[in-house]
Amino acid sequence: MKPSSSTKLVGIFGDPVSHSLSPAMQNAAFEYMGIDAVYLAFHVPARPASALKTAVSSIKALGFMGVNITVPHKEKVIEFLDHVDNEAGDIGAVNTIVNKAGKLTGYNADARGYIESLGQEAGFSPQGKNAVVIGAGGASRAIAFAVLKAGAKRLVIANRTLRRAQTLSRDLKKKFPKPEITAVPLDKNFLRPVAGDSQLIVNASSLGMAGKEELDFPLYALPEGAVVSDIVYKPFDTGLIKKALVRGLVVHRGLGMLVHQGALAFELWTGEKAPLDIMRMAALKALKLHA
């Protein structure tokens, strides 16, 4: 559908943002569903801090349907919204904003998107299981929350900066008093003993991204049938995923979470069921073009 004077705007605010696969994925969904909207990437710099505030006020001023929010704005953006959905408030991060009649509501589609893709693509539910989450940044916060909400029995958070993992663990304990939640350094001596009875490990750090070093996890210590999940989607197969495949473990790639959170955002903006397969194909095609 060609943009016209009635086309609605949707977009993503981030810094950096030019690598985002969301425009390709969301525009393919609008096209397929015959929705007169266009999704663009907007570079909203981290500094000055006023840039984000101005960008958020433009959602109302320009009548956007809504936007996605990505690094580094997911936490900071909350103060500029009219409402925050309960789950996003608990996580402390927003990745989707919906503009309804000039009122902005923030949601976190990362958490639900993660659990939905884990179920559909790896056939795994964290209910009653032991999980390890690597990383303690914004992405880890949403995933750790999602895994606990889905009923995990034990969660170990491993991070290079131990203090950050301890803060996350303390925050999660307030919301989830029953499961065992511990913070450990990102060190094989700590990871090996917990790997033996963990059914899910999630790389929610930026290790393994194109151009970064790989996560070195003691995969050999995991039990048969364990799921190795990596939220990094570029490259499509990270070093961790490749090693897990060689070891015969179940893998869950980062593209799954990207597509599922995108589908949830699409549904929040349009009220229509998202065309998941179309979105996945568009994201995969864009990933190959960017590679």
Residues with a catalytic annotation lie at: 74
The correct pick among 33, 46, 51, 71 for binding ligand ATR (CB under 6 A) is 71
Strands (DSSP E) contained in 25-108 are 37-43, 66-69, 83-84, 96-100, 103-107
Distance separating alpha carbons of residues 8 and 187, to the nearest angstrom: 48
Asked if 160 is part of the footprint of ligand ATR (rule: CB under 6 A), the reply reads yes
Of the pair 262, 275, the CB lying nearest ligand ATR is at 262
Name the burial class of residue 265, with classes exposed (0-12), middle (13-18) and buried (19+) by CB atoms within 10 angstroms of its CB.
Answer: buried
- Judged by CB under 6 A, the stretch of 76-84, 100-108, 154-162, 242-250 that binds ligand ATR is 154-162
Q: How far is the CB of 163 from ligand ATR (least distance, A)?
A: 9
Asked if 136 is part of the footprint of ligand ATR (rule: CB under 6 A), the reply reads yes
Asked if 138 is part of the footprint of ligand ATR (rule: CB under 6 A), the reply reads yes
Asked if 186 is part of the footprint of ligand ATR (rule: CB under 6 A), the reply reads yes
Asked if 88 is part of the footprint of ligand ATR (rule: CB under 6 A), the reply reads no
Contact call for residues 46 and 29 (beta carbons, < 8 A): no
Distance separating alpha carbons of residues 257 and 110, to the nearest angstrom: 7
Number of neighbouring beta carbons within 10 Å of residue 275: 18
The correct pick among 159, 169, 203, 229 for binding ligand ATR (CB under 6 A) is 159
Strands (DSSP E) contained in 186-268 are 200-203, 227-230, 250-252
Over the Cα atoms of the chain, what is R_g?
19
The footprint of ligand ATR on residues 30-59 (CB under 6 A) is: none
Contact call for residues 175 and 168 (beta carbons, < 8 A): no
Distance separating alpha carbons of residues 110 and 243, to the nearest angstrom: 25
Q: How far is the CB of 41 from ligand ATR (least distance, A)?
A: 17
The correct pick among 99, 140, 203, 270 for binding ligand ATR (CB under 6 A) is 140
- Judged by CB under 6 A, the stretch of 3-11, 60-68, 100-108, 202-210 that binds ligand ATR is 202-210
Number of neighbouring beta carbons within 10 Å of residue 60: 14
Asked if 207 is part of the footprint of ligand ATR (rule: CB under 6 A), the reply reads yes
Q: How far is the CB of 281 from ligand ATR (least distance, A)?
A: 25
Of the pair 160, 173, the CB lying nearest ligand ATR is at 160
Total residues in contact with ligand ATR, by rule CB under 6 A: 16
Distance separating alpha carbons of residues 169 and 95, to the nearest angstrom: 21
Q: For binding to ligand ATR (CB under 6 A), which residues are involved?
A: 71, 135-140, 159-161, 164, 186, 205-207, 213
